[in-house]
Structure 1
Amino acid sequence: MKTAIVESLKEGEFVKKYVLKETLILRGQQFIYYREKGYPNCCDTLSKGNYQLDTNTGLVYLTSYPFILKDSLSAFINEEYRHGTDSTIITITNPVEAFNDGSNRKSVRFYYQCNFYLSKKDNKRTDEVYVKYFDSPSLVFRLSSDFKIDSFAISAVPNYPNLSLRYNAVNTLKLKTYTVKSESSNHFSVNIPGLTFDFLAYKRLNKDIVRIIDNNTLEWDGFYYVRQGISK
């Protein structure tokens, strides 16, 4: 491939042909991949990061920023003892669950699994695991009075049919195991502020290959992208 053609593609805006309008911008060793607004709960930006141009092969390598590539999130957990209940309660909050779509129907947005690691209060056993599944951000259950919760780990599976996202990028989100501070705690508030529609919809790219066809055309993932302003 002629070096002049490769060099000319260091920067530019390239629009996806035939499909819902999506644009790949290459500029200053960075890229932005975005689409026109068309999905109610999703960002315009589908991915962004850095790119490398190989002048020998005419290939462009796209790699998303580290904050997009990560598949785990931090949670802020508060525990307390509440009088008047013999149940254990876990309440999960995040921007996706908090979003109001304007309807009166509360749709299931995540399926949650919580693994509780238990020990007997007499400390004779420490290998019990109690697993609970739930489809709402609030879990209420009763634990045998013989046991105490040493720690727990939560995972969330997005229910994509109810989320209306352009890309379904995350299969399962797992939080770090949380160690319980007080044996008497029976209410746990789990806040995951980074669990947003954007986080679920970002297209994760790790050295994704874009092929240079000519001075005005790129081929990526089976589609052609034409330089903005060029009819082809």
Structure 2
Amino acid sequence: MKTVIKILVPFSILFINCKSTEKFNGNEISIHDIYYAIGDERKEIHFKENTFTFLDKFSGKDFSYYNCCDTLSKGSFKIINNSIIELTSINDFNSGFLDFNIKEKTTNNLDTLYIKITNPIEKKYNSKTKRELKYMLQLGTNDKELNRYFTYTEINNNLLKIPISNSFEIYDIELTIYVEPFISVKEKNINVINTFNQKIKNKKSNKIEIDVPELTYNYINFRRLKMDYIRVVSENKLIFDGIEYLKK
């Protein structure tokens, strides 16, 4: 007859800490945690696996001031040496160029060129708020004087009516967007945005709508990081942008 021996292992011995560790200054420490900024506890850096998220969390009053956003940046990180972490933000917002959709028509009013610029920020604008964007158009037309005028003129409006002659032709268009300093985001991390040049299919079009769907508050608020470094002082303390962050 076989004797069955039961071995009871305490639960605490079976528990394994799932946080991975890295070597810093010769010691194994875990940075896969949350760190908050000394003096501004709303700012946090979250590390998880090989990714980071940099937050500036909303307080109650912020919702009336800002349209965006509590996520300032996110992406991947890697260990450079025994005391440095390198941050690289995701590619989604890294380009200073945006594409746009274009709709073109020919109306009966052939003496006027109509241009409308739309994007998610324009859609939030109303007559009681300040304009947060300005534009500069680069037009390719057979009217050299008109081309030159728009090349050097900032437009504080998204609706344009431009007198043209019956012989007017338009060939291509692109847009430069200027972000006002007072735009309602936590951080303004881009000042000028360019669009790619687009050809006009019908050179006699005189009603053109330019839609830039990716021009959002999030795009302007996003901090683009590339080869930005965090210094690891200890498992409980990091320094980023000259600010100390402590582990929660």
TM range (shorter): 0.7 to 0.9
Provide, for residues 81-123 of structure 1, a one-character-per-residue CA deviation record: whole Å limited to 9, x for no partner.
11135110110111111115xx751422211100111237xxx
Does residue 1:41 correspond to 2:62, yes or no?
A: no
Distance 1:98 1:20 in 2: 33
Does residue 1:23 correspond to 2:44, yes or no?
A: yes
Structure 1 match to 2:17: none
Q: Among 210, 213, 217, which residue is 1:190 paired with?
A: 210
Does residue 1:88 correspond to 2:110, yes or no?
A: no
Structure 1 match to 2:77: 51
Does residue 1:112 correspond to 2:135, yes or no?
A: yes
Structure 2 match to 1:4: 27
Alignment coverage as a number of residue pairs: 217
Following superposition, which runs of at least 4 residues in structure 1 exceed 3 angstroms of deviation? 126-131, 144-147
Structure 1 residue 221, shift from structure 2 partner = 0.3
For structure 2, which runs of at least 5 residues remain unmatched after alignment? 1-23
Alignment of structure 1 residues 207-218 onto 2, 5 Å: 207-218=227-238
Distance 1:67 1:143 in 2: 39
Distance 2:110 2:128 in 1: 29
**Stretch moving more, 211-220 or 178-187:** 178-187
2:97 match: secondary structure: coil
Distance 1:213 1:12 in 2: 15
Alignment of structure 1 residues 119-138 onto 2, 5 Å: 119=142, 129-132=147-150, 133-138=154-159
**Stretch moving more, 212-221 or 39-48:** 39-48
TM-score, normalized by length of structure 1? 0.86
1:160 match: secondary structure: coil
Structure 2 match to 1:158: 179
Distance 2:41 2:106 in 1: 52
Contact 2:116 2:209 in 1 (8 A): yes
Work out which of the two has the higher radius of gyration on C-alpha atoms and give 1 or 2.
Answer: 2
Counterpart residue type for residue 109 of structure 1:
E
2:34 match: secondary structure: strand
Distance 2:45 2:104 in 1: 45
Contact 2:111 2:166 in 1 (8 A): no
Structure 2 match to 1:169: 189
Distance 1:104 1:118 in 2: 32
Distance 1:20 1:153 in 2: 42
TM-score, normalized by length of structure 2? 0.81
Distance 1:168 1:48 in 2: 16
